[in-house]
Structure formats: C-alpha cells, structure tokens
Amino acid sequence: MTSVEEASERERRILDVLLALGEGEVTTYGDVAAVAGYPKQARLVGRILATTEAEVPWWRVVAAGGALRAGDTVLQARLLREEGVVVRGERVRDAPVGRFAGGGER
C-alpha cells in the first residue's frame, strides 16, 4: 500500500484511527483495532503500521502493557518523551492523554 487513498477499506479504517491520535495520546494495537471495528485484531494493526507508507503517528501505539514495540524503540521513546509521555525501561508509565493517562492502564 502506498497511501491512505489506495488502502483497502479495512486498512483505511485503521489508518483513520491512527491519524486521529493527538499529541501525547498513547494507545495500544488492540485499542486501535477495536475502535476501527476489528476487535481482537491487534496484529492487523501491527502489520499495517509495518507496511504502510502513509505518514501516521506510529510511535503513539504500544503493546497492551505499555511496552514499546516499534522497530526502533529508542526513537519511539524519544518521540513519546517529546510529547510529555513518561517512558521508563522501554515501557510507557504515564501519558497526558489516552489509555496510560494518570499513570495506569485502563
């Protein structure tokens, strides 16, 4: 896939959720899938993030327990910290917005 416009309906719905994530908002692969209408399809989100050429905020998506999972976790941690997210030990501990806001999972 080369852009949001060329994506399949399933991919487009997931990309739309990713594009709606705001600065400092951290969510999980599973949450993105559920909001897009594909519950229990976290791996689909990971596949799309790994293959899309669309510019999406990939660094705002983490594993369910807060673990960083992007190919470059050092870069992911840096980008998250720049948005006010607390990252320790390659895990999100607190975020201004989203699942990890207030220092805990929801």
Per-residue pLDDT tens digits for 22-54: 999 999 999 999 999 999 999 999 999 999 999
Rounded-to-integer distance, Cα 34 and Cα 64, Å: 13
Q: What is the mean pLDDT of residues 76-97?
A: 96
- The pLDDT assigned to 31 comes to 97
Q: What is the pLDDT of residue 6?
A: 52
Task: Give the model's pLDDT for residue 83.
Answer: 97
CA 95 to chain centre: 13
Q: Which domains does the chain carry?
A: 9-98 (1.10.10.10)
Report the C-alpha gap between 17 and 90 in whole angstroms. 24
What pLDDT, on the 0 to 100 scale, is given for residue 71?
A: 84
Q: How many residues does the chain have?
A: 106
3-class secondary-structure state, position 61: strand
- Mean pLDDT, range 60-78, rounded to an integer: 94
